[in-house]
């Protein structure tokens, strides 16, 4: 049993805020987390006693636990996520907006007494390396023991964060979270960028409840980055070392659930023996211009909160090894001997218990694991972790990739002509909607820089900020648009994907080093099949040529759709991007009339 002790800080800003929030939420106890292993052991025991966690098979998954959420609470809820800036214009057309006063009033009514009979856990936490001047501090108050145990994996919690805060600073994110009655009608994820505050109520789901991740490290951080001249982005970070010992660092923005984690843990095919690819991050990158004028990136997280279904020894062997011990699994399926299973794994050999806790017969139509079921894994578990993963200075980025799932139009890889054009490619990137996102399946959802759900302010102003970064850099990274998901007319993927993406990565690296060829097209430089190392690939030349093709008709339509997208964002879209669109359209027209 955890015993509440006196607050381990004299910081009066923190103490008075915690008191004020406790007065509103009325918990029975307030417990300050110190982040120790002893505390984690006691919290885990309590979570098991309360039925929040189920211990998994100690031989098959040592140190690992299983959790099942309320079936109404299985994903981020973008429609209930708000940016509460003083004016609606500051939040822009792509965010839900609520007046800050109104939001506080509305949520205070739900928080009022929401923690009666519960404990309020105070989690001081740090995002970013403790030695880095760029780390960000937050304090999350929550009534969820599941949140505490996940935050412990995803950030550095407890004394380490309080020490960094010190006795007098009020520069910390004020995060308040309660699962309350987990009623979707009373669920709100609200951000107050000007006050460095987050209030989240009614959901225990990771992206809504682990406030250090999407809420702080992306929405609030992107707002701050705009004020301070850096970038907080939804990007994986990868180290690639060639057999000759040349190292490049690559950042890649891809919409949720489109293979970002797999790319961050890529295992090259046998023809690329000697190449070493290592993970720095799988979801978030903070990037600043270094003294040498290059763009340096850090991953502020300490763990991976990834989608389980589809992960297997073929798609992501490093992730499978990472998940062998000391993880938390949420909403996957359970085997009779208390191991985990999800769609995409071999088998199952037996009937299962599904993510709702119901018996599941082999061959049943309904998935056994929820499609958005998750693992939470400590960073050190990853066998491909880069030694630079927690370098406080970050790593210098050679290339930035923007991607998305597009079955047509977007070639396997395009290198931008320049920074402005690269920003344009990112600002107009999109992905086809899948069954996991509400709305018509197969429609293009524009997801600029994969940040649609995470820009903490107006999207047009965000594009202008991206453009302005160019002037701060002496050696800007090259920008590429990639698409692993293009299909043939009969619906087959043209490119094999996964580990084979190494071939595209190598071309990208070689372009950065000025070594590889490319073809100039109206929309950017694309590799010709001969520019790619295709030794041993299991795909036809025709399919690869089709994956690489720029079709002027398709692109004319695409650019027309970009006009609608810019229209939707409104008057803050920078003129440089509007002009860029017209320029690209003019080159396409010229090509079509030739």
Give the binding site for ligand OXD (CB under 6 A).
Answer: 76, 207, 256, 283, 305
CB of 310 to ligand OXD, least distance (A): 14
Task: Report the C-alpha gap between 504 and 238 in whole angstroms.
Answer: 14
Q: Beta partners for 132?
A: none
Closest of 380, 414, 429 to residue 235, by C-alpha: 429
Q: Residue 282, interface with Mn ion (CB under 5 A)?
A: no
CB of 260 to Mn ion, least distance (A): 7
- Span from 108-116, 261-269, 283-291, 548-556 in contact with Mn ion (CB under 5 A): 283-291
DSSP state of 213: I
Which phi and psi angles does 576 have, rounded to 5°? -60, -35
CB of 63 to ligand OXD, least distance (A): 23
What residue 506 binds from Mn ion, ligand OXD, none (CB within 5 to 8 A, per partner kind)?
A: none
Which residue has the CB atom at the shortest distance from ligand OXD? 256
Which residue has the CB atom at the shortest distance from Mn ion? 283
- Nearest to Mn ion of 178, 256 (CB atom): 256
Closest of 60, 45, 55, 52 to residue 325, by C-alpha: 60
- Give me 182's structure tokens: 């987990």
CB of 505 to ligand OXD, least distance (A): 21
Place of tokens 């395009």: 414
- Nearest to Mn ion of 260, 511 (CB atom): 260
Q: Residue 140, interface with Mn ion (CB under 5 A)?
A: no
- Nearest to Mn ion of 82, 304 (CB atom): 304
- Nearest to ligand OXD of 373, 420 (CB atom): 373
For Mn ion (CB under 5 A), the number of binding residues is 2
Tell me whether residue 77 is exposed, middle or buried, using C-beta atoms within 10 angstroms of its C-beta: 0 to 12, 13 to 18, 19 or more.
Answer: middle
> Could you give the maximum distance between any two Cα atoms of the chain, in Å?
78
What residue 199 binds from Mn ion, ligand OXD, none (CB within 5 to 8 A, per partner kind)?
A: none
What residue 76 binds from Mn ion, ligand OXD, none (CB within 5 to 8 A, per partner kind)?
A: ligand OXD
Which of helix, strand or coil describes residue 195?
helix
- Nearest to Mn ion of 286, 507 (CB atom): 286
- Nearest to ligand OXD of 90, 447 (CB atom): 447
- Nearest to ligand OXD of 76, 191 (CB atom): 76
User: What is the arrangement of strands in the sheet containing 65-67, beginning at the earlier edge strand?
Assistant: 54-55, 65-67, 328-330, 374-378, 303-307
CB of 283 to Mn ion, least distance (A): 4
What residue 207 binds from ligand OXD, Mn ion, none (CB within 5 to 8 A, per partner kind)?
A: ligand OXD
Which of helix, strand or coil describes residue 247?
strand
- Nearest to ligand OXD of 172, 305 (CB atom): 305
- CB environment 576-588: b (16+ within 10 A), e (fewer): ebeebbeebbebb
CB of 4 to ligand OXD, least distance (A): 32
Q: Residue 415, interface with Mn ion (CB under 5 A)?
A: no
- CB environment 95-131: b (16+ within 10 A), e (fewer): bbbbebeebbebbeebbeebbeebbbbbbbbbbbbee
CB of 284 to ligand OXD, least distance (A): 8
- Nearest to ligand OXD of 197, 330 (CB atom): 330
Q: In angstroms, what is the C-alpha Rg of the chain?
A: 24
CB of 163 to ligand OXD, least distance (A): 29
DSSP state of 446: E
CB atoms within 10 A of CB 327: 23
CB of 217 to Mn ion, least distance (A): 10
103: part of which helix (H) or strand (E)?
A: helix 100-111
Which of helix, strand or coil describes residue 403?
strand
- Nearest to Mn ion of 30, 322 (CB atom): 322
153-182: contacts with Mn ion (CB under 5 A) = none
Q: State whether the Cα torsion 12-4-153-352 is positive or negative.
A: negative
- Give me 107's structure tokens: 């949520």
What residue 422 binds from ligand OXD, Mn ion, none (CB within 5 to 8 A, per partner kind)?
A: none
Q: Residue 283, interface with Mn ion (CB under 5 A)?
A: yes
- Nearest to Mn ion of 255, 460 (CB atom): 255
CB of 7 to ligand OXD, least distance (A): 32
Which phi and psi angles does 20 have, rounded to 5°? -65, -45
47: part of which helix (H) or strand (E)?
A: helix 37-49
Q: State whether the Cα torsion 323-329-332-334 is positive or negative.
A: positive
Site string for Mn ion, 241-280 (x = CB under 5 A): ---------------x------------------------
CB of 282 to ligand OXD, least distance (A): 8
Residues that bind Mn ion (CB under 5 A): 256, 283
């Amino acid at each position: 049993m955890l015993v509440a002790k006196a607050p381990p800080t004299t910081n009066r800003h923190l103490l008075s805020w915690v008191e004020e929030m406790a007065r509103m939420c009325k918990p029975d106890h307030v417990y300050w987390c110190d982040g120790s292993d002893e505390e984690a052991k006691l919290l885990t025991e309590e979570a098991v006693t309360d039925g929040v966690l189920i211990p998994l098979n100690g031989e098959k998954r040592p140190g690992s636990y299983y959790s099942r959420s309320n079936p109404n609470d299985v994903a981020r809820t973008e429609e209930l996520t708000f940016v509460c800036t003083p004016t609606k214009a500051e939040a822009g057309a792509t965010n839900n907006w609520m007046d800050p006063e109104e939001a506080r009033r509305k949520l205070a009514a739900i928080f009022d007494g929401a923690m009666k009979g519960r404990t309020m856990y105070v989690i001081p936490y740090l995002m970013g390396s403790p030695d880095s001047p760029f780390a960000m501090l937050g304090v999350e108050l929550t009534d969820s023991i599941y949140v505490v145990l996940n935050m412990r994996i995803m950030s550095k919690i407890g004394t380490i964060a309080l020490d960094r805060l010190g006795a007098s600073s009020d520069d910390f994110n004020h995060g308040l979270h309660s699962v309350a009655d987990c009623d979707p009608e009373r669920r709100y994820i609200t951000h107050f960028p000007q006050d460095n505050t987050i209030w989240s109520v009614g959901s225990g789901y990771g992206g809504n409840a682990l406030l250090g991740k999407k809420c702080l490290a992306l929405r609030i951080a992107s707002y701050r980055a705009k004020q301070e001249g850096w970038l907080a982005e939804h990007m994986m970070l990868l180290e690639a070392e060639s057999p000759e010992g040349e190292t490049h660092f690559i950042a890649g923005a891809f919409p949720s659930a489109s293979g970002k984690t797999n790319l961050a843990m890529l295992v090259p095919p046998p023809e690329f023996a000697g190449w070493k690819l290592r993970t720095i991050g799988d979801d978030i990158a903070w990037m600043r211009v270094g003294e040498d004028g290059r763009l340096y990136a850090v991953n502020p997280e300490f763990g991976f909160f990834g989608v389980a279904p589809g992960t297997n020894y073929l798609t992501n062997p490093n992730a499978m090894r990472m998940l062998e011990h000391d993880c938390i699994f949420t909403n996957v399926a359970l085997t009779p001997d208390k191991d985990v299973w999800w769609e995409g794994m071999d088998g199952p050999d037996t009937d299962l218990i599904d993510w709702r806790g119901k018996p599941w017969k082999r061959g049943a139509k309904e998935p056994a694991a929820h499609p958005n079921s998750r693992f939470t894994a400590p960073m050190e578990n990853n066998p491909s972790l880069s030694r630079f993963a927690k370098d406080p200075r970050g790593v210098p980025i050679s290339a930035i990739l923007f991607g998305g799932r597009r079955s047509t139009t977007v070639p396997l890889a395009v290198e931008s002509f320049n920074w402005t054009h690269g920003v344009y490619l990112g600002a107009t990137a999109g992905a086809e909607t899948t069954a996991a996102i509400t709305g018509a399946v197969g429609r293009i959802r524009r997801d600029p820089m994969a940040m649609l759900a995470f820009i903490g302010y107006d999207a047009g102003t965000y594009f202008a900020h991206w453009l302005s970064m160019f002037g701060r850099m002496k050696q800007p990274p090259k920008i590429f648009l990639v698409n692993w998901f293009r299909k043939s007319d009969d619906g087959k993927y043209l490119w094999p994907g996964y580990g084979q993406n190494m071939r595209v990565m190598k071309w990208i690296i070689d372009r950065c080093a000025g070594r590889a060829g490319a073809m100039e097209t109206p929309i950017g430089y694309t590799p010709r099949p001969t520019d790619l190392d295709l030794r041993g690939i299991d795909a036809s030349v025709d399919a690869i040529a089709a994956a690489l093709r720029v079709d002027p008709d398709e692109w004319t339509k695409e650019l027309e759709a970009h006009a609608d997208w810019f229209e939707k964002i409104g008057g803050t879209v920078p003129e440089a991007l509007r002009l860029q669109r017209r320029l690209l359209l003019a080159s396409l027209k010229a090509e079509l009339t030739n």
